[in-house]
């Protein structure tokens, strides 16, 4: 008797949807609380709290609808055999345009083209509502409908340009990989990730945003002095025009070895009261670098990727797996998709573990900035970011433990207070 893979996958998807909806309801209840957490009383203004509460509740209502539609569609696609039907139709399309449907690469690219069209069409109403109703209602959206669709078209064109060679390479590797298939697949993805990490900020990101050097002045001097004191190999310091799309703010760094860059959102510069708050936020980011958090995370992802490909090699020739989902053949891409579905339980556990580690890293980076003497401006900067982004002030502990990669503001401020008291 064959194992009912498809029924098990759909069952687990519905089970996880039920569990996560329960957590969402707990969070929704927390968001409805009419008062600030005691830790934030006198720190966050009542006006900002009310705006944050309204924004968070709007997003929460939208999330319930989006997740319900998503689980219904995803379950129906698997349960009613839409994937094998769509694979068959994509093969017929390849024949219709005069190409060879026996060529798995052509067949796969036709299948992916259809999937991309389907995902764009089904996701578009949610993206439009999120951007032009919710984000606009609360003062965050700054982009026009033209800019929205221009970005979407650029994303599609990039997928058309980059997708075929990557997919083709994966299919060829699987077809010719032999006993070392998992290692070959991992090596390819490792190389691809390095190439994309190198090219993305140089060639792709500028297609969507404008990056300009941070002008000379006190802020630039303070950041460069901080970077120099930590031996951080800062090569370039940019400001990105995030305000053309949203008033949300952030800062990040990227680059390999001795070629590091720091990027500040123009909204961050506009929102912070003084340079010290911005420098404190950068000190936190530099803490991630100094404590090797980025390297540890990268290594962890590589290990997980290798293990995932190893698992795939164990089931890629399982005719039972393919038949359970309605396939009579065993295409490479379909095998990868089905494998991803069968390891969903493990993926949830891994995601939860990675969030735990990430929150630990955030506390460590805060402590790093605190030891550099930035405790007060970091507190002010974190509060400012929370206020200006209208982030949720009240959070359910179960919800945040499961979903958050960053600790809630209340916990971060409490940790900074404790570190300050220890130094007194």
Q: Which residues are catalytic?
A: 285, 366
Asked whether residue 288 is marked as a ligand-binding residue, the answer is: yes
Which DSSP string corresponds to 81-101?
Answer: THHHHHHHHHHHHHHHTT--T
Residue 121, helix vs strand vs coil? helix
Q: How many CA atoms lie within 13 A of 397 on its CB side?
A: 2
**Interatomic CA distance for residues 224 and 233, integer angstroms:** 10
Given a contact cutoff of 8 angstroms between Cβ atoms, the answer to whether 161 and 155 are in contact is no
| Strand arrangement of the beta sheet that strand 251-254 belongs to | 211-213, 234-240, 260-265, 251-254
Give the other-Cβ count within 10 Å of 117's Cβ: 11
Pick from 41, 28, 97, 104: which is nearest to 335 by CA? 104
Pick from 287, 253, 268, 252: which is nearest to 360 by CA? 287
Asked whether residue 406 is marked as a ligand-binding residue, the answer is: no
**Total residue count of the chain as it appears in this document:** 424
Compute CA distances 378 → 192, 252, 280, 393, whole Å: 36, 16, 5, 18
**Interatomic CA distance for residues 271 and 247, integer angstroms:** 9
Annotated binding-site positions for Zn(2+): 284, 288, 362
């Amino acid at each position: 008797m064959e194992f009912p893979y498809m029924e098990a996958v759909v069952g687990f998807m519905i089970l996880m949807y039920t569990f996560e909806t329960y957590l969402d309801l707990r969070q929704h209840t927390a968001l409805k609380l009419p008062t600030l957490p005691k830790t934030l009383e006198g720190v966050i203004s009542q006006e900002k709290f009310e705006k944050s509460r309204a924004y968070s509740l709007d997003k929460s209502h939208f999330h319930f609808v989006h997740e319900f539609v998503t689980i219904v569609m995803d379950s129906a696609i698997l349960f009613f055999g839409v994937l094998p039907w769509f694979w068959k139709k994509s093969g017929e399309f390849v024949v219709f345009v005069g190409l060879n449907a026996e060529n798995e690469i052509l067949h796969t690219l036709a299948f992916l083209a259809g999937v991309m069209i389907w995902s764009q069409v089904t996701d578009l109403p949610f993206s439009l509502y999120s951007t032009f109703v919710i984000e606009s209602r609360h003062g965050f959206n700054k982009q026009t409908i033209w800019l929205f669709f221009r970005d979407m078209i650029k994303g599609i064109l990039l997928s058309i340009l980059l997708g075929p060679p990557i997919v083709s390479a994966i299919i060829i590797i699987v077809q010719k990989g032999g006993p070392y298939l998992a290692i070959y697949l991992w090596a390819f993805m490792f190389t691809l990730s390095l190439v994309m990490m190198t090219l993305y900020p140089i060639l792709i990101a500028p297609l969507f945003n404008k990056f300009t050097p941070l002008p000379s002045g006190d802020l630039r001097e303070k950041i460069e002095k901080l970077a120099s004191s930590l031996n951080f190999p800062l090569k370039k310091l940019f400001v990105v025009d995030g305000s053309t799309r949203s008033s949300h703010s952030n800062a990040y760094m990227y680059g390999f070895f001795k070629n590091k860059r720091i990027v500040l959102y123009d909204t961050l510069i506009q929102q912070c009261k003084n340079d010290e708050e911005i420098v404190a936020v950068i000190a936190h980011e530099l803490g991630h670098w100094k404590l090797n958090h980025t390297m540890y995370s990268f290594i962890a992802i590589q290990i997980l990727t290798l293990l995932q490909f190893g698992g795939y090699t164990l089931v890629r020739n399982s005719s039972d797996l393919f038949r359970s989902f309605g396939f009579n053949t065993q295409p490479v891409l379909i095998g990868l998709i089905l494998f991803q579905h069968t390891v969903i339980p493990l993926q949830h556990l891994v995601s939860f573990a990675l969030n735990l580690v990430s929150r630990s890293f955030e506390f460590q980076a805060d402590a790093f900035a605190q030891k550099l003497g930035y405790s007060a401006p970091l507190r002010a900067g974190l509060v400012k970011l929370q206020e200006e982004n209208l982030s949720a002030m009240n959070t359910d502990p179960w919800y945040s433990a499961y979903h958050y990669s960053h600790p809630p503001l209340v916990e971060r401020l409490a940790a900074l207070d404790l570190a300050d008291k220890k130094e007194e």
